Structure 1
Amino acid sequence: MDNSPSCLAVAEPTAPYQFHSSSGQERWVEVLTDCPSVEELFTYRVPPDLSLQPGDIVSIPFGAQITGGIVIRFLDSPPPGLDPQKIKDVEEAIAAQFFPSFYWQLLERVARHYYTPLIIAIRAALPPGLLRKSQRRIRLNRDALPSGAETFCSASAQAVLRLLQQQKAGDYSAQHIQRKIRGARQGLRELLKRGWVESYLQPPKRPRPKQQKAVTLVANTLPLDLTPRQREVIEVLRRKGGELWLSELCKSSNASSSAIETLERKGCVVIQYREILRLSSEGTVTEDSPKALTSAQAQALDCIRNLEGFSRVLLHGVTGSGKTEVYLQAIAPLLERGQSALVLVPEIGLTPQLTDRFRARFRDRVCVYHSALSPGERYDTWRQMLQGEPQVVIGTRSAIFVPLPNLGAIVLDEEHDSSFKQQQPTPTYHARTVAQWRAELEDCPLILGSATPSLESWVEIQQDPSTSCHYLSLPERIESRPLPPITIVDMRRELHQGNRSIFSDALQTALRTLKQQGRQGILFIPRRGYSTFVSCRSCGYVIECPDCDVSLSYHRVHEDATPLLRCHYCNHTQLHPPQCPECASPYFKFFGSGTQRVAQELAKAFPELRCIRFDSDTTRTKGAHRRLLERFAQGEADILLGTQMLTKGLDLAQVTLVGVVSADGLLHRSDYRATERAFQTLTQVVGRAGRGDDPGQAIIQTYTPEHPVIQAVYRHDYHTFTENTLKQRAEHNYPPYGRVILLRLSGLDEGEVQATAEIIAQACHNILPSGCEILGPAPASIMRVSRRYRWNILLKFPPSVGEKLPDLLQLRALCPQSISFALDVDPLNIE
């Protein structure tokens, strides 16, 4: 093999991947295939008419299916002992050169740290659809199905038939059927043998470049027989530089496409298909210029601009202190030097507002990348980054992998937010951790911004003695605006005084004043829906999800809407029964207050207040976040009512009131991070008030006003709260002083899941080094979700032990095929 410093070489599947250029004419390539259980490289023949380079994504035959793969290196000849006649050809090239040079190192580190096969880490990083494989599907053969077919089948075959018959098309993937039905393989074999179902292979659908007709002016002199309308079309083309999309030209010149085709026949223009990039560009913005900085902002900016190479910066600024302006002015000189910047936000809901501010400053050098974009938009956004132009990319956690050239800085806004942690599927990476690795590899600063920094970031920055760590404080709001005063309302006292409303007297007074003064407010509720659960008043029966061990939540959009019960874990939905299924009583009690109920109670008590709901139920469609926020910003509503989305960095100058309807839903959770999350959430939502010229206020309703979290939020006291919480963490060796890994097991058979969990726990005792504490196995706090029983094992150990851990992926081999096994490294939720 050529060992020159220019070709891509791989010694072993687990060895580092490095690029160097190939010499000679190769006809063989080694490919990393998109099969999670297979990590070795496979050899394929390159057809004579196909041009490939290392890093290209290709379609290849693999067993009985077509799957995706990545070209790793070229070979001068097939490996010894491999018959060239048995080597299959590469089918086609899907995408060329999709990997920047740093990519292999970053993705290998992700795969190693999060115990994930490399191909899984690659799949998580790439735009969706590039690595896809054909899918085995099962289709009901209705013509061959006899009447009463179920009576001739085994129980598992009957279950498969029922599942297929419930769907209109009678068509599911084999994997879905096996996940839903215990013993599905035996039932499928029986049905296939009878001919009542058929199995087929669905080929993968891959994203393709979008083509659109473009019109180019080619004639220097025009024919004399052109009509006035045709001359007008030519004049429009000239004013636009001689080239326009056909649709845009028709609109600008008020001409039909047939008229422009006539011009093509006369030799004046050429119409041809060209690629058009599908880039997200919602909203219109007006140009903006840098703002005057406070002394604290100026000091922070000066420190960031003077950084050289890799550094970690914690920008700790109270809500409304102007962190975004510091980001903007820090990024501006990077673009002038030809460098790019990556800005990560925790939620898609934040992206429109932040994107508008960046576009107002940097215009078309800003693009967005997140999961709400269509596959085509993500595919094209990724490819345009590879062109090398300096730009700013704003996105959610998946954007940490975008191939920005010459990266000058990475910013994590609201770095404390749990949305930066991938929960499923694997790898369960944290964008903050991966961002630090990438900043190290690309030798650029990492800026972490928050009003309530995570305890991990706080401890790391405070205890790191190196000159590469910087703590920057913005202790005051811009223009010396005060933090909103907070009123804590004891709802027990309200009840004793005869107030049975979900709104306290203080909140009702504030809401009435709001309309009179022409201002706006936010009402925060920890959960969506109408109520937490529904219970029969006669017998106490609670309506539960048939597939999960949770109660169903009551949903009702408006008075005349059909009342529904919905599971917030598996999305099972059913009609609300007119009578109790247990005792036939028509009397039900609705417990708890979700966004729907609060919206209805608000409309009854304050019909003059216009309200917009802002939660996951109302923001499902593309662009919904932007539309709702624009309506509120334009004064179309007095109240913005919603869940966690409201806490994540929204900057709405008109808001002077924030009401927390029930803080208790955040406080009492069986997780060691519950108090930290509650403090962060309440501090952030309170900070939405008083960000404009008018002073703000916040009202927090709770049944436990003496709770330490409530008292810390009331005093705006991050430091004392952090100090007390860190003492508790240190006593029990929890992060940031210890590390944890959560092993999650699930399956359709409760006994089998429990038995497997016990086997794996014993294996952990045998293979883990001393100093590692094993908690469990134990059932998950919600034991059954989507008909699958769940058990957990928690591994807890000091950071020094983490380097001695064996490859925990070997534990997967102890699981039968019917049991799912997942490793969650550094989990944020261990319930």
Structure 2
Amino acid sequence: MYSNLLEPSLSPRRSVSSLAEPNNRYPTEGGWVEVLVDCPGAEGLYTYAVPPHLQVRSGDIVSVPFGAQQVGGIAIQRLRQLSADRDPATMRSVEDVISHGFFPPTYWELLQRVAQYYCTPLIQVVRVALPPGLLGRSQRRIRLTAAAPFPPIREVLSPTAQQLLTLLQAQKQGDYSWHYLQRQVRSANRGLTELLQRGWVESYLEPPSVVRPRQRQAVMLAHQPSIPSLSGQQQEVLAILRRQGGEMWLQDLLQQGQVSSSVVRTLERKGCVVIRSQEVLRFDATVPVVPDQPKALTDEQAEVLATLKALTGHAQVLLHGVTGSGKTEIYLQAIAPVLQRGQSALVLVPEIGLTPQLTDRFRARFGSAVHVYHSALSDGERYDTWRQMLEGTPQVVIGTRSAVFAPLPQLGVIILDEEHDGSFKQDQPVPCYHARTVAQWRSKLVNCPLILGSATPCLESWVEAGGREAREDRKDISRLFFPSSSSSSLTSPPPSLYLSLPRRIHDRPMPPIEVVDMRRELHQGNRSIFSRSLQDALQTMRDQHQQGLLFIHRRGHSTFVSCRSCGHVMECPHCDVSLTYHQTQLGGHETLRCHYCGYGRSHPSRCPVCDAPYLKHFGSGTQRVMQELAQHFPSLRCLRFDSDTTRAKGSHRALLTRFASGEADILVGTQMLTKGIDLPQVTLVGVVAADGLLHLADFRASERAFQVLTQVAGRAGRGADPGRVILQTYSPQHPVIEAVVQQTYPLFAEAELQQRQALHYPPYGRLVAFRLSGFDAEAVQQTATALAHHLRSRLEAELSTSTSGQTPFYELLGPAPAAIVRVARRYRWQLLLKFSTHYEIGLPTLTELRSHCPAGVSLTIDVDPLRLL
């Protein structure tokens, strides 16, 4: 859609063949630069002229004209000369530099690697890596400097420069957009150049308002002799400033001196003080923490820590510690020497809800050196935190998956806590990257250790670390879509070092897990969602003034609503799923909501098909559990912890703080409860319905169910009092349930890996999912069929020309409709390529594959998918 806007001087290159080092400096005498433009529909690099007064380096964020608009871009590399067919006179110029040196060394190689491996345009990766809005459309502005004379010295200025200076001095802030000045003054470029050379004005690019630096007025003592003609209030203000070291924020000074701003302004006019705006960095709101000292370690912890401290350079470590074994304390003590060496640490967690508790522990140990980076922060906070990282001071950054791109120039260690968690994989938008894979590449690039911590490691990490002797070699999947690219040293992750913490600290026992057969409960007349065993345990917990957790895998009240007369199920009009029933409290407003597209409606009183009043709710969610608790245990104080109650900023911390301080007896939640939350006072964990995790059409279903159930069970008994877990299910003989009860990860992994190996699933095979979607069901299906035919033809040709002596294994499954065919009115089909890790398979390039998709049908390639949607 932008092709008609491109002028001849915007000559694009359709591939990014090489990237210059970010810190490579070039002379300021003009020249040319290739820019990666942030504009929909723009691919490749575009060449721009560099004005003589600008210094542009690789890695700078610049503003450039693109068609009829001004857009942001990344300076990729400077050019010494143009090709013979290019006319320098037609080249458009870089307008300005938004930010110099925004990327540390090796950063470009990492971004290019992500784009290549996950089959994504480089600019898409850049958008994920940068703070939101930074490359958005910006405007160039001109403002006066302190050196500008007033009144202007007209005899030394040209008429054009005089007009510009007069306009700026007439404006209260001395600041106008360049677009406005160009409309007011003819030939404004010449006048501006004159003023810039004299240093009377400065040109800057105003970034999008959401990431504009925050300014705050400060008052400073001027180096002037004392002026006797000062009022008592004015003398008191100066005395306060002297006691505070000669500088204070204006608002603090007014409050402490109990004076109005006019008093300080008068002092400024008399030359006693200087008032100027200073930038204030925005960080997430912190709560006071009590400074903490390193804790005494067990023998097992000390042995693990000694091994980690002895690591030099790049190494990958799998720290397999049972729940409550003290992995976080090891992280803290492993990071301390990193900071002492002047380096920084990056700690990744799977969920935003995990960051408040972890951040408090880290700030108690390392103070203001700890920063947080995740999507729940405001754009301004993310922007300021990003810029703080670039300073290179020793710091600890805690964040979710996007923080893997944090631009820490002196990175000494990377830690993935709960490395097994599926939240580290991004499903949409592209790139569909996995933070663990990117962290592996980055740790190798910067030559630092990578620590993967979990009580239930993913099977890929388990095999890499030698959990099973039959380890498979991993090949570079980027060759599938970029067959001409050379092999990279980042191709396959190195074997991991395996470290184990098999016991909890202080030798606290693992909580026993009691399995309750809900079929038997029903036969014995108990129709409650709580078994009699769980009811007794809740009452005992309340009598002993203890706390507990209740886990249910779904939020809302009921999973679907059906008519008992005609069988009609209330469904979303935009998706092929049932609507979830929501009722926040008994007798409250009843709504039906789609958890896929967000559609909502009020709950009808009668069936829309047969008009019968017999609508019944089926299934259970967190809201229904809360109502059942209020009905059966009215004296229990309950809090709900799911995505509905944690939407507001700071709500994760507020809910956990309320529970930890004893304001509630029961915390009812979804999988957020399983992600590393440390609540020593919890003695009871109840799994209300485990079956919703067991019977999913996904090859990872058993692994995911084992991890979730083991993790939530591990929340019990972490303090001085022993814990207890009650697991309710209709499938007590299911292999996953039996493995969870035994609490032996190696036995579960061995059985699961045998099935994976027989079926060529990861970690003994590789997967690539081709997902197509569009509003026209027939067009999507036909495109999927055509794409499957094209892929099979290419694969068969590949096999017929193979000279390896062995036949590479591959299997192309589909095309088939997705498990949920329609989501948000878009119909979805997919193909799944499964192939051996031993051989390389040549496939069409990404551009060629997309050429088979007509307008209105989109193609997304998900490399190493975690879920088969």
- TM bin, normalised by shorter chain, reads 0.7 to 0.9
Shift in Å, 1:701? 0.6
Cα 1:634–1:506 change in 2 (3 A) is same
Between the aligned partners of 2:96 and 2:436, the Cα distance in structure 1 is 36
Does residue 213 (structure 1) correspond to residue 213 (structure 2)? The answer is no
Does residue 550 (structure 1) correspond to residue 577 (structure 2)? The answer is yes
Cα 1:512–1:270 change in 2 (3 A) is same
Between the aligned partners of 2:533 and 2:235, the Cα distance in structure 1 is 70
Shift in Å, 1:206? 6.2
- Say if 1:386 and 1:404, in contact at 8 Å, map to a contact too: yes
- Say if 1:489 and 1:702, in contact at 8 Å, map to a contact too: yes
Q: Which amino acid aligns with 2:551?
A: F
The one-character-per-residue Cα deviations of 1:228-264 (angstroms, maximum 9, x if unpaired) are 5545544443343322222333344444433433333
The one-character-per-residue Cα deviations of 1:309-338 (angstroms, maximum 9, x if unpaired) are 100111100000000000000000111110
Which has more radius of gyration?
2
463, 469, 475: which one aligns with 2:496: 469
Worse-superposed segment, 433-442 or 766-775: 766-775
Alignment of 1:382-397 (within 5 A): 382-397=386-401
Does residue 662 (structure 1) correspond to residue 666 (structure 2)? The answer is no
Q: Which amino acid aligns with 1:470?
A: L
For 2:833, what is the secondary structure of its paired residue?
strand
For 1:542, what is the secondary structure of its paired residue?
coil
Cα 1:88–1:222 change in 2 (3 A) is same
Counterpart in 2 of 1:827?
865
256, 261, 267: which one aligns with 1:257: 261
Q: Which runs of 5+ in 2 are unaligned?
A: 1-12, 139-206, 474-492, 800-808
- Say if 1:43 and 1:78, in contact at 8 Å, map to a contact too: no
Q: Which amino acid aligns with 2:826?
A: R
Shift in Å, 1:586? 1.7
Counterpart in 2 of 1:173?
none
Counterpart in 2 of 1:333?
337
Shift in Å, 1:50? 4.1
Counterpart in 2 of 1:171?
none
Cα 1:626–1:81 change in 2 (3 A) is same
Q: Which amino acid aligns with 1:511?
A: L
Alignment of 1:260-279 (within 5 A): 260-279=264-283
Alignment of 1:70-89 (within 5 A): 70-89=74-93
Counterpart in 2 of 1:484?
511
Cα 1:287–1:811 change in 2 (3 A) is same
Does residue 13 (structure 1) correspond to residue 51 (structure 2)? The answer is no
The one-character-per-residue Cα deviations of 1:342-396 (angstroms, maximum 9, x if unpaired) are 0000000000110000000000110011111111111111111111101100000
Give the CA RMSD over aligned residues. Answer: 2.2
567, 587, 593: which one aligns with 1:566: 593
Counterpart in 2 of 1:63?
67
Shift in Å, 1:436? 0.6
Q: Which amino acid aligns with 1:547?
A: H
417, 435, 440: which one aligns with 2:439: 435
Does residue 580 (structure 1) correspond to residue 594 (structure 2)? The answer is no
Worse-superposed segment, 814-823 or 123-132: 123-132
Shift in Å, 1:38? 4.1
Q: Which amino acid aligns with 1:447?
A: I
Between the aligned partners of 1:231 and 1:577, the Cα distance in structure 2 is 72
Cα 1:525–1:234 change in 2 (3 A) is farther
- Say if 1:26 and 1:76, in contact at 8 Å, map to a contact too: no
Between the aligned partners of 1:235 and 1:631, the Cα distance in structure 2 is 44
Counterpart in 2 of 1:353?
357
Cα 1:586–1:225 change in 2 (3 A) is farther
The one-character-per-residue Cα deviations of 1:554-579 (angstroms, maximum 9, x if unpaired) are 11112343211100000001111121
Shift in Å, 1:268? 2.9
For 2:784, what is the secondary structure of its paired residue?
helix
Counterpart in 2 of 1:767?
794
Counterpart in 2 of 1:4?
none
Q: Which runs of 5+ in 1 are unaligned?
A: 1-9, 135-202
Alignment of 1:777-792 (within 5 A): 777-792=815-830
Does residue 753 (structure 1) correspond to residue 780 (structure 2)? The answer is yes
Worse-superposed segment, 17-26 or 554-563: 17-26
Q: Which amino acid aligns with 1:713?
A: V
Cα 1:489–1:14 change in 2 (3 A) is same
28, 33, 36: which one aligns with 1:32: 36
Cα 1:508–1:26 change in 2 (3 A) is same
Cα 1:229–1:105 change in 2 (3 A) is same
Shift in Å, 1:221? 5.6
TM-score of the superposed pair, with normalisation by structure 1: 0.88
Counterpart in 2 of 1:364?
368
Between the aligned partners of 2:125 and 2:445, the Cα distance in structure 1 is 17
Does residue 622 (structure 1) correspond to residue 649 (structure 2)? The answer is yes
Between the aligned partners of 2:370 and 2:240, the Cα distance in structure 1 is 29
- Say if 1:564 and 1:575, in contact at 8 Å, map to a contact too: yes
Shift in Å, 1:546? 0.3
The one-character-per-residue Cα deviations of 1:425-455 (angstroms, maximum 9, x if unpaired) are 1111100000010000011100000000000
Between the aligned partners of 2:243 and 2:659, the Cα distance in structure 1 is 39
Between the aligned partners of 2:462 and 2:347, the Cα distance in structure 1 is 20
For 1:800, what is the secondary structure of its paired residue?
coil
Does residue 611 (structure 1) correspond to residue 649 (structure 2)? The answer is no
TM-score of the superposed pair, with normalisation by structure 2: 0.84
Counterpart in 2 of 1:505?
532
- Say if 1:106 and 1:438, in contact at 8 Å, map to a contact too: yes
Cα 1:107–1:348 change in 2 (3 A) is same
The one-character-per-residue Cα deviations of 1:646-674 (angstroms, maximum 9, x if unpaired) are 00000011111111110001101000000
Alignment of 1:514-533 (within 5 A): 514-533=541-560
704, 709, 722: which one aligns with 1:695: 722
Between the aligned partners of 1:762 and 1:62, the Cα distance in structure 2 is 39
Alignment of 1:146-295 (within 5 A): 207-219=211-223, 222-224=226-228, 226=230, 229-295=233-299
Shift in Å, 1:786? 0.3
Between the aligned partners of 2:866 and 2:495, the Cα distance in structure 1 is 27
For 1:741, what is the secondary structure of its paired residue?
strand
Between the aligned partners of 1:220 and 1:516, the Cα distance in structure 2 is 72
Between the aligned partners of 1:247 and 1:714, the Cα distance in structure 2 is 60
Q: Which amino acid aligns with 2:857?
A: I
Between the aligned partners of 1:526 and 1:11, the Cα distance in structure 2 is 47
Between the aligned partners of 1:27 and 1:592, the Cα distance in structure 2 is 67
- Say if 2:558 and 2:580, in contact at 8 Å, map to a contact too: yes
- Say if 1:772 and 1:801, in contact at 8 Å, map to a contact too: no
Between the aligned partners of 1:672 and 1:708, the Cα distance in structure 2 is 15
Counterpart in 1 of 2:848?
810
Cα 1:824–1:458 change in 2 (3 A) is same
Between the aligned partners of 2:114 and 2:635, the Cα distance in structure 1 is 53
Q: Which amino acid aligns with 2:832?
A: L
Counterpart in 2 of 1:172?
none
Shift in Å, 1:510? 1.1
- Say if 1:290 and 1:329, in contact at 8 Å, map to a contact too: yes
Between the aligned partners of 1:252 and 1:716, the Cα distance in structure 2 is 61
Does residue 736 (structure 1) correspond to residue 740 (structure 2)? The answer is no
Does residue 795 (structure 1) correspond to residue 833 (structure 2)? The answer is yes
- Say if 1:17 and 1:105, in contact at 8 Å, map to a contact too: no
- Say if 1:741 and 1:827, in contact at 8 Å, map to a contact too: yes
Shift in Å, 1:68? 2.1
Cα 1:539–1:87 change in 2 (3 A) is same
Between the aligned partners of 2:68 and 2:14, the Cα distance in structure 1 is 28
Cα 1:225–1:129 change in 2 (3 A) is same
Q: Which amino acid aligns with 1:274?
A: Q
Between the aligned partners of 2:588 and 2:495, the Cα distance in structure 1 is 58
Cα 1:802–1:620 change in 2 (3 A) is farther
Between the aligned partners of 2:95 and 2:357, the Cα distance in structure 1 is 43
Counterpart in 2 of 1:122?
126
Shift in Å, 1:801? 3.0
- Say if 1:36 and 1:120, in contact at 8 Å, map to a contact too: no
Shift in Å, 1:72? 1.7
Cα 1:94–1:405 change in 2 (3 A) is same
